[in-house]
């Protein structure tokens, strides 16, 4: 029973780590909501990959879109920061969780069984 718990524990946290890494390679998207008295619109801007934003940089030809450089850069930095934090969290939980599961004893609580036996013996 404990072996299965350990296996599922490891699989769960490695899957969580894999999702964090995959999230790092997805495109950075920025969404803006615009409202007026007449209509409600949602604008979405695809900034590109984290590598493209942080290493190569973004260059828009249209001067109206240059304000989005900072927003895209900040979102890319936050994605990298979140991936690093999730990775550290997963490895610490795996380390201490596996240590806890290994040190956990196999003693089962038999107090319910003792109560049933006492009731049978008293009759």
Rounded Cα distance between 20 and 89, Å, is: 11
Range of 21-25, 42-46, 99-103 with top mean pLDDT? 21-25
* CA distances, 81 to each of 57, 101, 110, 113 (Å): 18, 30, 48, 52
| Domains in the chain: boundaries | 2-122
In this predicted structure, what is the pLDDT of residue 1?
A: 42
- With H, G, I as helix, E, B as strand and everything else as coil, classify residue 97: helix
In this predicted structure, what is the pLDDT of residue 21?
A: 93
The rounded percent of the chain whose pLDDT value lies above 90 is 29
pLDDT tens for 54-70 read 888 777 655 666 667 88
0.85 surpassed by pTM = no
8 A C-beta contact, residue 94 and residue 50: no
- DSSP alpha helices (H): ranges in 1-123? 2-25, 50-51, 68-103, 111-122
Residue 31 has pLDDT above 80, yes or no: yes
Residue 107 has pLDDT above 70, yes or no: no
pLDDT tens for 87-99 read 999 999 999 988 8
Residue 110 has pLDDT above 90, yes or no: no
């Amino acid at each position: 029973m404990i072996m299965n718990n350990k296996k599922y524990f490891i699989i769960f946290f490695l899957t969580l780590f894999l999702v964090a890494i995959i999230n790092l390679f997805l495109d950075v998207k920025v969404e803006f909501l615009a409202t007026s008295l007449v209509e409600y619109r949602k604008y979405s801007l695809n900034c590109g990959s984290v590598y493209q934003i942080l290493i190569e940089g973004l260059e828009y030809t249209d001067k109206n879109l240059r304000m989005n450089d900072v927003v895209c850069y900040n979102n890319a930095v936050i994605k990298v920061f979140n991936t690093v934090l999730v990775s550290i969290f997963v490895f610490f939980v795996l380390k201490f969780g596996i240590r806890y599961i290994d040190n956990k004893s196999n003693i089962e609580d038999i107090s319910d069984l003792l109560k049933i036996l006492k009731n049978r013996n008293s009759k």
